[in-house]
Amino acid sequence: MRKLIIYILLIFSNLLSQVFDMDCAVFKGDENVSVIEVILLIPRNIFKFVRSDDGFYRADVEIRVALSKDDTVKAWDMWRIVDKTDDTTKIKASQKIPEMTTLTIEPGEYELYGVIIDMNKNIKYVRKEKVNIRSFASREPIISDIELCSSISKTESKNKFSRYFGYDLVPNASSVFGLHAPILYPYCEIYNIKFGENYRDQYSINYQILDINDNIIQDYGIVKKNKPGNSVVEIGSVNVSSLRSGIYKLKISFIDEGDTIFAVKKFYVVNETEEKNVEQLLVDFMYSGMSEEELDRIFGPLKYIATDNEIKRYKKANIEGKRQILIHFWDSRDPDPTTEVNEAKLEFMKRLEYANTNFGNAYTEGWKTDMGRIIIQYGFPSEIERYPSSMELKPYQIWHYYNVEGGVVFIFVDKSGFGVMELVHSTARKEIHDEEWQRWINQ
């Protein structure tokens, strides 16, 4: 069971090459704008630590967060952090750094980007999600998004996690709770409360935990609270240690003067003290609630290493069938089932991440390019010959693989002159073969 839990957590961090977690919550801003809090959870083991003059090992990291609409950045923030250690062997994947920023923006549909840049090894990790920035212009009672936190503590100093009422709230961008994080701390805000001598002095709050199908798993009953004014902050605590591993929703309802409004937030529970069917656990965690488009996006780069039969089965499958194919895809590809991770999957994710980081552009994801495909399918080259542009020749590269089929080469040429390297010749089986490939490099 321990191996399963570690494997699931690794999948969370590696799904779609997403090596860090990102979440957000939308709140009311001034006048006609809204405020979005973007929270990140970054594993320390992705950083490259370099020994500094003070004897410590140092990682320099740049973080960027942006909201984009119609290919135009509408709001953004950028900051740097420094992580230090006296011993790099102490750095573990389970050690994660929480980061957060706040952006003010008009309501609407946006694309949210989170970018982590390791300055020491010049590698960029990117998350991209579609977000709906809600409007809070209504004069009726309205509730914000729910932000799930891993800790809440009293504070007298102001920092990025402090709120105006004297507490530090550290959000949990992964939304994963359970044995190692048994208490879930929800935070939300309620606006436009009916307050004054003509209204009741108290309002009611109800917490419920729902399953993925909205069935009530736990109801914490009605709690009455005094109204402090026209708006309130709701902070609670929910112990989830008794829940079975799976996917859940937290529903917070506000009841007052005949009005009931609510907010819902999805979260995950991982409890390794129970026994549960492995396949179903993976279904719950990775693919439940995913659209067919999202499943297809995951399978896209897998086609490079999938068998013809797997590709045919996937194309013919319905959405549930596609989920099952993705769940079982790595079952027969684990080179050492005795270890806590699937080394083949981790190697694939490493190649995919490299392809997307180094070969993508504004129009094409890196894995869809010729170079990206070769990296994913064959691994990293044994040797690369790079030939820059000249008066007579277009830029081209020759990749050597000494351990593939007894030694093969792949030749790429920038035919268009726009930096897109296309495969023009290879000695590998089932690849394009053109003995006269040199004609492509002539200007």
Q: CA nearest 25: which of 101, 90, 126?
A: 101
Q: For residue 264, what is the domain's CATH number?
A: 2.60.40.3880
- What pLDDT digit, counting tens, does each position of 343-386 carry? 888 899 889 988 988 888 767 889 999 999 999 999 999 999 99
CB-based contact 37:102 (threshold 8 Å):
yes
- What pLDDT digit, counting tens, does each position of 223-245 carry? 999 999 999 999 999 999 999 88
- What pLDDT digit, counting tens, does each position of 248-283 carry? 999 999 999 888 999 999 998 887 654 444 444 554
- Give domain status of residue 372, yes or no: no
For residues 148 and 60, state if they share a domain.
no
What was the pLDDT predicted at 152?
84
What was the pLDDT predicted at 2?
47
- Give domain status of residue 224, yes or no: yes
Q: Cα–Cα distance between 159 and 101 in angstroms, integer?
A: 11
| DSSP letters for 255-317 | EETTEEEEEEEEEEEE-TTS---HHHHHIIIIITT--HHHHHHHHHHHTTTS-HHHHHHHHH-
For the chain, what is the domain count?
3
For residues 121 and 151, state if they share a domain.
no
| Greatest Cα pair distance in the chain | 89
| DSSP letters for 191-222 | ES---STTS-SEEEEEEEEEETT--EEEEEEE
Long-range contacts (CB closer than 8 Å, 24 or more residues apart) made by 286-295 = 286/11, 286/15, 286/326, 286/327, 287/323, 287/326, 287/327, 288/212, 288/247, 289/212, 289/247, 290/323, 292/319, 292/322, 295/319, 295/322, 295/323, 295/326
For residues 192 and 243, state if they share a domain.
yes
What phi, psi does 161 have (nearest 5°)? -100, 0
Q: Cα–Cα distance between 135 and 33 in angstroms, integer?
A: 7
- Give domain status of residue 417, yes or no: yes
What was the pLDDT predicted at 62?
95
Low-confidence stretches of the chain (pLDDT < 50) are 1-17, 274-280, 283
For residues 109 and 214, state if they share a domain.
no
For residues 84 and 111, state if they share a domain.
yes
What phi, psi does 238 have (nearest 5°)? -130, 125
CB-based contact 78:113 (threshold 8 Å):
no
Among 113, 134, 155, give the residue marking a domain's end: 134
Helix (H, G, I), strand (E, B) or coil at 41: strand
- What pLDDT digit, counting tens, does each position of 131-140 carry? 999 999 989 9
For residues 147 and 124, state if they share a domain.
no
What was the pLDDT predicted at 362?
67
- Give domain status of residue 359, yes or no: no
- Give domain status of residue 358, yes or no: no
What was the pLDDT predicted at 217?
96
Among 276, 310, 335, give the residue marking a domain's end: 276
CA angle 190, 192, 195 (to 5 degrees): 105
For residues 64 and 97, state if they share a domain.
yes
For residues 148 and 253, state if they share a domain.
yes
Q: For residue 123, what is the domain's CATH number?
A: 2.60.40.10
- Give domain status of residue 403, yes or no: yes
Helix (H, G, I), strand (E, B) or coil at 153: strand
For residues 106 and 142, state if they share a domain.
no
For residues 151 and 267, state if they share a domain.
yes
What was the pLDDT predicted at 215?
94
Among 276, 301, 316, give the residue marking a domain's end: 276
For residues 163 and 102, state if they share a domain.
no
Strands (E), 369-426: 383-387, 396-401, 408-413, 422-426
What was the pLDDT predicted at 263?
97
- Give domain status of residue 283, yes or no: no
What is the domain extent for residue 39?
A: 1-134
What was the pLDDT predicted at 14?
42
- Give domain status of residue 442, yes or no: yes
| Residue carrying the six token digits 């026209």 | 230
For residues 236 and 145, state if they share a domain.
yes
